[in-house]
Chains A and B, each alone.
Chain A
């Protein structure tokens, strides 16, 4: 249990570093990169939560979160490139 708390502390500190880059980043692509990385880190947080509590619906949340983070990042990249969404 203590080991899981240490791992969760590492992952939450990583999330705070991503939030710092989202707040601080000079341009819009910096913020988009930080949003993408934050989505992948939270998948790891969901897996640790599933292992600690022993319930497996957190894994379903992790799968759905990774899927939505991927689609959102592709949409933001297309918007940065300047193309319309129905391309």
Chain B
């Protein structure tokens, strides 16, 4: 009983993180801001939902599959976000006009698209 209560509390927390991440995806002004807000919040929220599902399910193959899927999401989601940020920068997506620094462009990554040779 105690274990299921803790599991449902963790599931509720994860759902709130998902909701706030998607609000950030709608509200923020720039693709890079949207990418970092949504990726961090939604990765943590889905991993918390999977952890709570593991606690509610107890033992058995359902809990093992929840743990496996949580570990997989925790590994693959930041990788996909990193590749997506790099692809968006090289496709020439503009920064927000209030941005103050661009270290990646200053290091010579270039703003070119398909025609330019990548480092």
Contact = CB atoms under 8 A, between A and B. Distances in A.
B6 interface: no
A41 B61 contact: no
Contacts, number: 155
A32 B88 CA distance: 9
Interface of B: 8, 11-12, 14-16, 18-19, 21-23, 25-26, 31, 34-35, 38-39, 42-43, 45-46, 49-50, 53, 56-57, 61-62, 65-66, 68-69, 72-73, 76-77, 79-81, 83-84, 86-88, 90-91, 93, 113-115, 118
9 pairs of A and B residues whose beta carbons are closest in the complex: A82-B114, A29-B88, A80-B87, A77-B87, A14-B22, A17-B22, A81-B87, A77-B83, A59-B65
